[in-house]
């Protein structure tokens, strides 16, 4: 019971930091080349309601902290509390190899569960590209961003299909103020969908969607350095 519950929790929560459509860290559990800038901090709370037998965990509650140490390095802490199982914390880290340009994508390499041994950690390389870059932004909506990653599975998940090989999808920003967007990605096993709504500048982002047969809701807030 405990092993199964923890495997499910890690599979669903380890990268919940950025289910928002704005670029910042992973999208739900799918690694991407989105990256926080130096000094930016993102706080998140998530609730996942699980479609599982009554003997299994029925919900997962997660809190995440993502910090842009430099423009190239991001470090994330993820704490998850699994119904009927308990809580745990893992650490993820990414390094940005290349910034997006007109012809090239953002490119990031990363490791999930950096405190685990070599068998427990998983590794990935992710690329992300704005597909309509000419004038993209508040004056050119929607902004469409594609994602493609290549990764290794985390053996501790007992789930070799998730984040192994190629995976990815698309995210779209429909409007800027208030910000509204959605995404659809496949992580190698499940289709993950979601939307986000930010009422205005310096206000929290509301988000929610589906994860395979499960559903989730969340709240996030980004703190940026002055200036």
Strands 73-82 and 86-98, sheet pairing: antiparallel
The domain total for the chain is: 1
- Beta-strand (E) ranges in the chain? 41-49, 59-68, 73-82, 86-98, 106-112, 122-130, 143-151, 165-176, 179-186, 191-198, 205-211, 214-223
Query: Residue 157's pLDDT is what?
Result: 44
Peptide bond preceding 13: is omega within 30 degrees of 0, i.e. cis? no
Residue 194 has pLDDT above 50, yes or no: yes
Average pLDDT, the chain: 80
Which of 181, 177, 108 lies closest to 144, judged by CA?
181
Q: Taking residues 123-141, what's their average pLDDT? A: 76
Could you tell me the CATH number of the domain that includes residue 130? Answer: 2.40.160.40
- What is the DSSP secondary structure assignment for residue 214, as one 8-state letter? E
Give the SS3 label for residue 89.
strand
Query: Residue 131's pLDDT is what?
Result: 87
Range of the domain at 146: 2-223
Query: Residue 62's pLDDT is what?
Result: 86
pTM metric for this prediction: 0.81
Query: Residue 27's pLDDT is what?
Result: 66
- Give tens-digit pLDDT for 143-188: 899 999 999 875 544 455 677 889 999 999 888 889 899 989 888 8
- Give tens-digit pLDDT for 13-48: 444 444 444 444 456 667 889 899 999 999 988 888
């Amino acid at each position: 019971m405990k092993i199964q519950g923890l495997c499910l929790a890690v599979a669903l929560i380890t990268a919940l930091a950025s289910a928002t459509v704005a670029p910042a860290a992973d999208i739900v559990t799918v690694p991407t080349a989105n990256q926080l800038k130096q000094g930016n901090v993102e706080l998140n709370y998530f609730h996942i309601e699980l479609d599982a037998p009554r003997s299994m965990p029925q919900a997962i509650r997660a809190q995440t902290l993502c910090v842009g140490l430099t423009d190239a390095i991001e470090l994330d802490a993820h704490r998850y509390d699994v119904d009927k199982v308990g809580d745990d914390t893992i650490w993820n880290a990414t390094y940005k190899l290349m910034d997006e340009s007109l012809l090239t994508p953002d490119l990031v390499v990363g490791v999930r569960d950096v405190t685990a041994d070599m068998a427990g950690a998983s590794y990935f390389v992710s690329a992300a590209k704005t597909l309509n870059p000419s004038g993209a932004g508040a004056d050119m909506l929607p902004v469409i961003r594609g994602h493609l990653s290549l990764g290794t599975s985390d053996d501790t998940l007992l789930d070799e299909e998730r984040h192994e090989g190629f995976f990815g999808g698309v995210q779209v920003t429909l409007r800027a103020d208030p910000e509204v967007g959605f995404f659809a990605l496949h992580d190698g096993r499940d289709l993950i969908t979601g939307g986000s709504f930010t009422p205005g500048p310096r206000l929290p982002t509301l988000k929610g969607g589906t994860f395979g047969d499960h559903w989730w809701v969340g709240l996030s807030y980004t703190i940026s350095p002055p200036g």
